[in-house]
């Protein structure tokens, strides 16, 4: 029987939303007020209504039984190292925790202290992705594997609705991260995308998603990434994250004034959030 992990959810505790701190710092209305995400509510609703090809498979009872059997087998043969990796990926949902999971693929430090502009960019993208995935889950309720097959062990069920298996929000986040990182860390695209795929696949090993749920999450990530390209706020934040990479890689001496100002606000926000509360 695979080990059952108790996850820490400290990532959600004792922190102040960065977009609130942006407003306090007064860096400017566009930067502060748009921080929760890039797309409008209507745009996100439209994306959530797109039916990915995996939806048909997810609604087939015989195919679901086959998927559950596949999950059972994966759990039976998984090594302790694979279980540990799946556990760590499961607990890395928000941008500041998700990016370091790509360190090995990027062959460098992607932490928020080193790359605040990149973290801010992905944070906003994940806010969009979470909204889209939540609406898609509500439109297509599906029991999670552990909820329909007692032979399947879930890594953890905290924070999970047992009828929100389709699509996988983690898989959408992981592949969204892989896609945007591939546009910043030139030359690492293949490894980054492979890591994004593995991040989603771990949800299957964890028994909380079917393979078709994960496939749908990746399809949504691709659709979202294509849609956000035309957003001016996204383009501005992407440009700053690309400048940040050039400075870190010694291809540029310093950030442009606008990106430097954004980076300062982000670093100040990190310091404020890290201070112990009285």
Between 239 and 7, residue with greater pLDDT? 239
Identify the band that residue 25 occupies on the pLDDT scale cut at 50, 70 and 90. very low
pLDDT of residue 272: 87
Where do the structural domains in the chain lie, given as residue ranges? 39-274
pLDDT of residue 156: 82
Identify the band that residue 278 occupies on the pLDDT scale cut at 50, 70 and 90. low
Write the pLDDT tens digit of every residue in 34-82: 468 999 999 999 999 998 888 888 889 999 999 999 999 999 999 999 9
93: CB partners within 8 A, 6+ apart: 11, 126, 169, 170, 173
89-118: buried (b, 16+ CB within 10 Å) or exposed (e) per residue? bbbbbbbbbbbbbbeebbebebebeebbbb
Most confident of 23-27, 119-123, 157-161: 119-123
Give the count of alpha carbons within 13 A of 219, CB side only: 18
pLDDT of residue 5: 36
Alpha carbon of residue 140 to chain centroid:
20
The single-letter DSSP state of residue 15 is -
C-alpha–C-alpha distance, residues 137 and 134, integer Å: 5
CA proximity to 145, closest of 48, 76, 80, 66: 66
Q: Does 247 score more than 70 pLDDT?
A: yes
- Quickly tell me which residue has 């209504």 as its tokens: 49
CB neighbours of residue 264 within 10 Å: 14
Identify the band that residue 30 occupies on the pLDDT scale cut at 50, 70 and 90. very low
Contact by Cβ (8 Å): 242, 84 = no
Look up the pTM and report it.
0.86
What beta strand segments (E) does 131-211 contain? none
| Tokens (6 digits) for 14 | 């004792």
Between 2 and 158, residue with greater pLDDT? 158
* Alpha carbon distance, N-terminus to C-terminus of the chain: 45
C-alpha–C-alpha distance, residues 36 and 52, integer Å: 26
Write the pLDDT tens digit of every residue in 105-122: 999 999 999 999 999 999
The dihedral region occupied by 140, where left means phi > 0, alpha psi between -120 and 50, and beta the remainder, is: beta
Mean pLDDT, all residues of the chain: 88
- For 39-274, give the CATH class: mainly alpha
pLDDT of residue 277: 67
* 265, 270, 276, 277 alpha-carbon torsion, rounded to 10°: 50
3-state secondary structure of 142: strand
Q: Does 19 score more than 60 pLDDT?
A: no
């Amino acid at each position: 029987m695979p080990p059952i992990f108790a996850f820490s959810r400290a990532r959600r505790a004792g922190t102040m939303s960065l977009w609130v701190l942006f407003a306090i710092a007064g860096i400017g209305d566009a930067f502060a007020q748009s921080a929760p995400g890039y797309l409008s509510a209507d745009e996100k609703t439209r994306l959530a209504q797109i039916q990915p090809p995996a939806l048909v498979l997810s609604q087939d009872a015989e195919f679901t039984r086959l998927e559950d059997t596949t999950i059972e087998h994966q759990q039976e043969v998984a090594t302790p190292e694979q279980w540990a990796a799946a556990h760590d990926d499961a607990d890395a949902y928000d941008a500041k925790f998700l990016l370091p999971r790509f360190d090995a693929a990027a062959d460098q430090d992607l932490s928020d202290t080193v790359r605040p502009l990149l973290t801010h960019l992905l944070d906003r993208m994940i806010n969009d992705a979470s909204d889209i995935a939540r609406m898609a889950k509500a439109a297509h309720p599906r029991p999670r594997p552990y909820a329909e097959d007692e032979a399947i062990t879930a890594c953890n069920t905290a924070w999970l609705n047992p009828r929100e298996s389709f699509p996988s929000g983690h898989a959408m986040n992981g592949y969204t991260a892989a896609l945007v990182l591939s546009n910043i860390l030139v030359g690492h695209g293949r490894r980054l995308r492979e890591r994004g795929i593995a991040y989603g696949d771990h949800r299957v090993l964890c028994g909380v998603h079917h393979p078709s749920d994960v496939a749908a999450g990746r399809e949504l990530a691709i659709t979202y990434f294509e849609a956000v390209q035309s957003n001016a706020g996204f383009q501005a934040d992407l440009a700053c994250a690309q400048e940040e990479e050039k400075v870190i890689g010694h291809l540029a001496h310093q950030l442009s004034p606008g990106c430097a100002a954004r980076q300062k606000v982000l670093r100040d926000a990190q310091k404020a959030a890290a201070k112990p509360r009285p």
